[in-house]
Amino acid sequence: MSQEVAEDNSQEVIGIACTHRERTLLTKKQQAAVTKFSQSTAESPYKINYEDLQIQQPTKDFLKELEKGSGEATFCDPKWAEFVQQLAKNSPVCALIHPLCHAEFERLANGEPLDSSLAVPHTLGAPAVVKLLSVLSTTSLPPRFWPFFRYLLAMAKAPFANNNPAPIPAVRGETVVNWFPALPKVQERGRFSLDTDTHEVLFPLTFPSALQLTSFPLVER
C-alpha cells in the first residue's frame, strides 16, 4: 500500500484511508474526552489524559496549545471551542475539508492568508475553518498551528489517493420512449434480473359484484 508522508517532521505517516475509522481524527473514546474539553470553562475545567487515550502526536500538540489555566484546572480556549467540537465529531476529516478547498486550505496551513474573495464560496467546503478565522479576527493561522492543519489536510486527501473513477458505459442512441430534450443522457440505467421476472399477484384487487351488494339487509331508520 502506498503511503503519503506529511511534510512536517511532527506529522505521522498516513496511509490510504479505506474505513470510516481511518478517515476520522479520533476514536470514540477520544471523541468523548475532546468533546468534554471543548465544553470546559474556567468554572468547570477539564484536563485530557493524553497518555491513557493515546491521542496521536499532532492532535495532542494542537490541543495542548489550546489549554488555558494550569495543572488540573485547565480548560479550552473559548475562541477555539466550537472548532474543537467539530473535530470531536464522528465524521470523516474529508467532510470537514471538502476536496474543492484542498488548494486553498494548503496555502492556509502554510501561513498564507485566506483570500477574502474566496471566504464566502469556501464556507460551503470548509465552514468550520472559515468561521474559526472569523472568530479569531484574522485571515491566517498562527505558526504554531500549521503542523496540525497540514496533518488535517493529509487526512482529508487520503481517501482520494489513487482514486480511479469507474468507467461509464457507452450510451446507445436516443429512442422515442426516453427522449428528454432538456436533459442530456449521461448513462444507461442498466438491466437487472428483476426487470424480466414475472411475479404472481398474491392479493388480486377485486370489486364486489352487484349481487354481493344486494345481499346486505336494508336497515330502516
Give the DSSP H/E element, type plus range, for residue 87: helix 81-87
- Which cell numbers hold the place of 137? 479576527
Residue with cell 470537514: 96
- pLDDT at res. 1: 37
Tens of each residue's pLDDT in the chain, 221 residues: 333 333 443 334 344 446 888 889 999 999 999 999 999 999 999 999 998 999 999 999 999 999 998 888 899 999 999 999 999 999 999 888 888 888 888 888 998 887 665 555 455 567 788 788 888 888 888 899 999 999 999 999 888 877 666 665 565 555 555 566 666 665 566 666 666 666 655 555 555 555 555 555 555 55
**Helix (H/G/I), strand (E/B), else coil: 123:** helix
Dist. CA 94–CA 69, nearest whole Å: 32
Give the DSSP H/E element, type plus range, for residue 69: strand 67-70
The phi-psi region of residue 190 (left if phi > 0; otherwise alpha if psi is between -120 and 50; otherwise beta) is: left
Dist. CA 133–CA 82, nearest whole Å: 12
Q: Give residues with Cβ within 8 angstroms of 160, minimum separation 6.
A: 94, 99
